[in-house]
């Protein structure tokens, strides 16, 4: 058994060590990402890389649609241009398109370190310039039929479509946008200006205006892309913060679990190692102070034995309260519930406190508001609650004082117990301190009454386990009142008497 327990413990230690290493690695990675994202110098470079990625991704997604446009334009233009020239132009345009697609595909396959190099931007610009020049060459092809204005309209429409598509594809890189659209617009404008007719001048002016419009549209698309990238950077920054908070939370939880385990081990050790010698100290000191084995010749020894017994009892009470509070906080305190009368329990506790009350000439008065039915609760826990509250009331009530205990029903059908004294009271500012574990007010410190400051914490926890409510009211120099209530769900109302068939027959005969 010892070997198996040691093996299991070693395995758990190894697993916890691996988890800790993983958490440290995650925290280090998140810290690096957060530093990179949060640095103002790195944001423009990241945006440039992202814009290049958007440019390449857009080109690759439209890799099959753009050649179809060139094929349609070549087929229609064969009505005015010699098919051989059109075929030669289509092959050249398709080769330039393949060059642009190949550049984008090479960029996507390149490692991250290579993407940060400036030549990629020049490659994109050069590929767009060659592709745009291939389209500009289309408008320089000679016509076979010189009659009609249909070819002019076709050329102008083709120019608008090509410039629009290039703007949509290259908006994230302004240099590539100008390199892909200016050759087309300038060539069309120059071609139209060579003709002396007004329609050519009009189309040339419209071509210049269209180039300006699409350039403004490209700038707006660029702003939208930058805004999207900023939002993405903020999202990544938020994710990094959440990952960091999660890592810190996991680490804090691990430390809390280790601290809780250490506390449990300490309390278990203290329970065994301290209670055993304390019981011996209490037993022998009681024998000495009561002179069971014979009278003591020195009166100081007897006094010392009484002090030892009193201090040991106080220390044992402190240990018991700490253990009770730790079990409650750890959720290991289970209620042993049964049907009990709260008034009988209060009466029993009052009898137990009579000796301490008579020592200070304190009167304990008890009053009920009608008959109280039984409640469903833990008798030992409720006795501890009442004894703690009565003990505090007697402790801080002056000589010849009064402690008033009131029992009754609440408005919602529950039951309450009120314990009120006419002691010095508690300042309003000290009430939260008193309700905390190990918290003691100024009156308790000045009076030097023995106490641990855990009684009210235990009372609150036990009342809460019963689903009840605890309240402390106090005014300086007027006294203190503590009230705890139990909910209606714990009150066991008396059931009506069971009516037998003989009783029903008797009632029927009586009515007849």
Q: What is the pLDDT of residues 245-265, one digit of tens each?
A: 888 888 888 888 777 777 766
- What are the backbone angles phi and psi of residue 240, rounded to the nearest 5°? -65, -40
Shared-domain flag, residues 366 and 421: yes
pLDDT at residue 163 greater than cutoff 80: yes
pTM of the predicted model over 0.85: no
- What are the backbone angles phi and psi of residue 139, rounded to the nearest 5°? -75, -5
Of the candidates 197, 230, 245, which is a domain's last residue?
245
Shared-domain flag, residues 34 and 178: yes
**The pLDDT value given to residue 134:** 92
Q: Is 255 within a domain? A: no
How confident is residue 130, by pLDDT bands cut at 50, 70 and 90?
very high
Shared-domain flag, residues 347 and 475: yes
Q: Is 446 within a domain? A: yes
- Which residue, chain included where needed, has tokens 């058994």? 1
Q: Is 205 within a domain? A: yes
Cα distances (Å, whole numbers) of residue 475 to 124, 405, 485: 82, 18, 21
pLDDT at residue 270 greater than cutoff 70: no
**The pLDDT value given to residue 31:** 60
Shared-domain flag, residues 188 and 94: yes
pLDDT at residue 275 greater than cutoff 50: yes
3-class secondary-structure state, position 149: coil
Residue 314 or 344, more confident: 344
Shared-domain flag, residues 325 and 399: no
Task: Give me 83's structure tokens.
Answer: 């098919």
Q: Is 252 within a domain? A: no
Shared-domain flag, residues 38 and 182: yes
Reported residue count of the chain is 512
Q: Is 361 within a domain? A: yes
HSE-CB at 366 with a 13 A cutoff on CA atoms is 17
**CA–CA distance, 425 with 417 (Å, rounded to integer):** 19
E-strand stretches of 359-502: 363-368, 374-378, 402-409, 415-421, 469-475, 479-486, 491-492
Alpha helices in 194-333 (DSSP H): 198-289, 299-329
Residue 496 or 182, more confident: 182
- Lowest mean pLDDT of 197-211, 223-237, 496-510, name the range: 496-510
- Which residue, chain included where needed, has tokens 């009892």? 313
**The pLDDT value given to residue 45:** 46
Q: Is 447 within a domain? A: yes
* DSSP-derived secondary structure for 324-349: HHHHHHTT-----EEEE-HHHHHHHH
Shared-domain flag, residues 347 and 382: yes
Q: Is 505 within a domain? A: no
Q: Is 261 within a domain? A: no
3-class secondary-structure state, position 491: strand
Q: Which of 421, 418, 422, 420 is nearest to 368 (CA)?
A: 418
Containing structural domain, residue 280:
275-329
Asked if residues 484 and 459 have their Cβ atoms less than 8 Å apart, the reply is yes
HSE-CB at 94 with a 13 A cutoff on CA atoms is 15
**CA–CA distance, 399 with 420 (Å, rounded to integer):** 15
pLDDT at residue 272 greater than cutoff 70: no
- Name the average pLDDT for the chain: 79
HSE-CB at 493 with a 13 A cutoff on CA atoms is 8
Cα distances (Å, whole numbers) of residue 381 to 62, 348, 411, 492: 77, 14, 24, 18
Give me the long-range contacts of 66-73 (CB less than 8 A, separation at least 24).
66/97, 66/165, 67/94, 67/97, 69/161, 69/162, 69/165, 70/94, 70/97, 73/138, 73/158
Cβ-based neighbours of 340, under 8 Å, separated by 6 or more: 374, 375, 377, 379, 382
Shared-domain flag, residues 311 and 421: no
Task: Over range 186-215, report the average pLDDT.
Answer: 86
pLDDT at residue 96 greater than cutoff 90: yes
pLDDT at residue 63 greater than cutoff 50: yes
- HEC-encoded secondary structure of 157-211: HHHHHHHHHHHHHHCCCHHHHHHHHHHHHHHHHHHHHCCCCHHHHHHHHHHHHHH
pLDDT at residue 92 greater than cutoff 90: yes
pLDDT at residue 116 greater than cutoff 90: no
Shared-domain flag, residues 58 and 145: yes
Cα distances (Å, whole numbers) of residue 497 to 99, 103, 500, 503: 99, 95, 9, 11
Shared-domain flag, residues 166 and 299: no
| Domains: count for the chain | 3
Shared-domain flag, residues 211 and 67: yes
**Which of 159-163, 251-255, 302-306 is the most confident on average?**
159-163
- Which residue, chain included where needed, has tokens 């750890």? 330
- Lowest mean pLDDT of 117-131, 200-214, 309-323, 434-448, name the range: 434-448
Shared-domain flag, residues 99 and 185: yes
- CATH code, 394: 3.30.565.10
- What are the backbone angles phi and psi of residue 37, rounded to the nearest 5°? -75, -40
**The pLDDT value given to residue 495:** 43
């Amino acid at each position: 058994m010892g070997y198996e327990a040691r093996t299991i413990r070693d395995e758990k230690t190894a697993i916890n060590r691996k988890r800790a290493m993983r958490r440290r690695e995650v925290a280090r990675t998140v810290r690096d990402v957060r530093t990179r994202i949060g640095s103002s110098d790195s944001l423009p470079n990241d945006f440039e890389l992202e814009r290049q990625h958007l440019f390449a991704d857009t080109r690759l997604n439209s890799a099959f649609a753009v050649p179809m446009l060139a094929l349609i334009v070549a087929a229609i233009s064969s009505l005015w241009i010699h098919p051989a020239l059109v075929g030669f132009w289509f092959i050249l345009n398709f080769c330039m398109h393949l060059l642009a697609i190949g550049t984008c595909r090479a960029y996507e396959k390149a490692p991250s370190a290579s993407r940060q190099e400036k030549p990629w931007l020049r490659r994109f610009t050069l590929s767009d310039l060659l592709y745009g020049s291939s389209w500009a060459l289309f408008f320089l092809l000679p016509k076979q039929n010189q009659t009609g204005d249909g070819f002019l309209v076709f050329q102008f429409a083709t120019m608008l479509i090509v410039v629009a598509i290039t703007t949509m594809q290259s908006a994230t890189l302004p240099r590539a946008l100008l390199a892909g659209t200016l050759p087309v617009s300038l060539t069309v404008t120059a071609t139209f200006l060579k003709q002396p007719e007004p329609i050519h001048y009009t189309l040339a002016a419209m071509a210049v205006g269209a180039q300006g419009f699409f350039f403004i549209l490209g700038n707006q698309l660029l702003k939208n892309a930058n805004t999207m990238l900023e939002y993405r950077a903020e999202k990544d920054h938020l994710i990094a913060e959440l990952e960091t908070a999660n890592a810190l939370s996991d680490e804090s939880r691990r430390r809390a679990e280790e601290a809780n385990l250490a506390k449990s081990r300490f309390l278990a050790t203290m329970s065994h190692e301290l209670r055993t010698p304390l019981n011996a100290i209490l037993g022998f000191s009681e024998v000495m102070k009561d002179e069971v084995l014979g009278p003591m010749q020195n009166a100081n020894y007897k006094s010392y034995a009484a002090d030892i017994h009193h201090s040991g009892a106080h220390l044992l009470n402190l240990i018991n309260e700490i253990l009770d509070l730790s079990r409650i906080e750890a959720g290991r305190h289970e209620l042993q519930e049964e049907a009990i009368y709260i008034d009988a329990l209060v009466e029993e506790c009052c009898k137990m406190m009579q000796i301490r009350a008579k020592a200070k000439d304190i009167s304990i008065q008890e009053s009920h508001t009608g008959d109280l039915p039984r409640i469903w609760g833990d008798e030992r826990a409720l006795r501890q609650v009442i004894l703690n509250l009565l003990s505090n009331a007697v402790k801080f009530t002056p000589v010849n004082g009064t402690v008033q205990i009131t029992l009754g029903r609440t408005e919602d059908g529950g039951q309450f117990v009120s314990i009120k004294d006419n002691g010095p009271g508690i300042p309003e500012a000290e009430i939260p301190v008193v309700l905390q574990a190990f918290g003691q007010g100024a009156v308790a410190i000045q009076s030097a009454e023995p106490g641990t400051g855990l009684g009210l914490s235990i009372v609150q926890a036990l009342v809460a386990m019963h689903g009840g409510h605890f309240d402390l009211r106090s005014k300086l120099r007027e006294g203190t009142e503590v009230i705890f209530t139990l909910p209606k769900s714990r009150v066991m109302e008396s059931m009506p008497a069971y009516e037998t068939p003989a009783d029903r027959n008797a009632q029927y005969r009586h009515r007849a």
